[in-house]
Amino acid sequence: ICQTQTLSVVLEEVLTNLIMWFFYALIPCLLVDGVAILPAPQNLSVHSTNMKHLLMWSPVVVPGEIIHYFVEYQGEYESLYMSHIWIPSSWGSPTEDPECDITDDITATVPYNLRVRASLGSQTSAWSTLQHPFNRNTTILTPPVMEVTKDGFHLVIKLEDLGPQFEFLVAYWRREPGAKEHVKVVRSRGIPVHLETMEPGVPYCVRVRTLVKAIGRHSPFSQAECVKVQ
């Protein structure tokens, strides 16, 4: 009985030593320069307004260290015809911010896969991929900022410059019963545009909405703004 108990104690000590050896052998794999392996960025999302696309994620935090992020994208062409290769983002490889402007990367109205990983020295995290592919046709379109003025008897508007893909549908009318609404497509960006010669004492009103042919969508109309010549 004593021999059996002694053997049991010896086996227990050997097992304990093996477990401790395995634990200490594993530590160098989990730690690099005293810092735990980098976790992958989480909560990826795309915020897109007026064809400006921003990929965002929750930051990876390592006290006292600056984390860099690398962003890559994969469009329909890369997925179907280029063996699923990933391309580094124009502006987000690398970046210290937990966001990347991917506007210049999204050049077609097709689904795009997006992914990001963290880097610290020689360490890199696993890739995190956007849960659902992003398509620019889901961008939120808003009316442009509009300035309505008069230049003498001329009704003049100046519209916010939203970029080369935008056209503006401008509706204007005399504010009186039975007045007809006129519509004009404006392509000039940030430049005053003459709409009509006004009659004294009659208010003229203007409203506008954006139009993006590349995605076949337009914004709601803005609130009307009115001016008149005395």
Q: Of 97, 115, 138, which residue is a domain's last?
A: 138
CA atoms within 13 A on the CB side of 128: 23
Give the end of a domain, one of 87, 119, 138: 138
Please, are residues 161 and 190 in contact by the beta-carbon 8 Å criterion? yes
Does the model's pTM come out above 0.95?
Answer: no
Strand partners, 225: 206
**Nearest to 39, CA basis, from 121, 124, 98, 130:** 124
Q: Please report which helix (H) or strand (E) contains residue 104, including its range.
A: none
- Give the range of the structural domain holding residue 219, as residue numbers without chain letter: 146-227
Q: For position 84, what pLDDT does the model report? A: 81
Helix (H) or strand (E) holding 2: helix 2-30
Q: How far is CA 227 from CA 173, 200, 211, 216, 223, in A?
A: 11, 11, 25, 32, 14
Express each pLDDT in 211-226 by its tens digit. Answer: 999 999 999 999 999 9
Q: Are residues 65 and 106 in the same domain?
A: yes
Q: Which pLDDT score, from 0 to 100, does residue 92 have?
A: 79
Q: How many CB atoms lie within 10 A of CB 59?
A: 16
Which of 112-121, 181-190, 208-217 shows the lowest per-residue confidence on average (mean pLDDT)?
Answer: 181-190
> What is the rounded average pLDDT of the residues 167-179?
94
178, part of any domain = yes
Q: Structure tokens of 166?
A: 């935008």
Instruction: Mention every residue, 6+ apart, whose C-beta is less than 8 A from residue 141.
Output: 49, 50, 210, 212, 217, 218, 219
- For 116-129, how does the pLDDT look when each residue is reduced to its tens digit (9 = 90+)? 999 999 999 999 99
Output the pLDDT for position 6.
54
Residue 29, pLDDT above cutoff 80: no
Residue 37's pLDDT is what?
84
Locate 4 and state its tokens.
């059996």
Tokens of 93: 């490889």
pLDDT for the residue numbered 11? 54
Confidence band for 15, pLDDT divided at 50, 70 and 90? low
Phi/psi of residue 50, nearest 5 degrees: 50, 45
- Torsions phi, psi for 126 (to 5 deg): -70, 160
Contact 132, 20 (CB under 8 A): no
Residue where one domain finishes, among candidates 138, 160, 185: 138
Phi, psi of 17 (to 5 degrees): -65, -40
- Total domains, the chain: 2
pLDDT tens sequence across 149-158: 999 999 999 9
Contacts of 183 (CB under 8 A, 6+ apart): 169, 170, 171
**pLDDT tier at 27 (50, 70, 90 boundaries)?**
very low
- Is the pLDDT reported for residue 3 higher than 60? no
Q: Is residue 67 part of a domain?
A: yes
**Domain harbouring 48, CATH code:** 2.60.40.10
What is the model's pLDDT at position 4?
Answer: 52
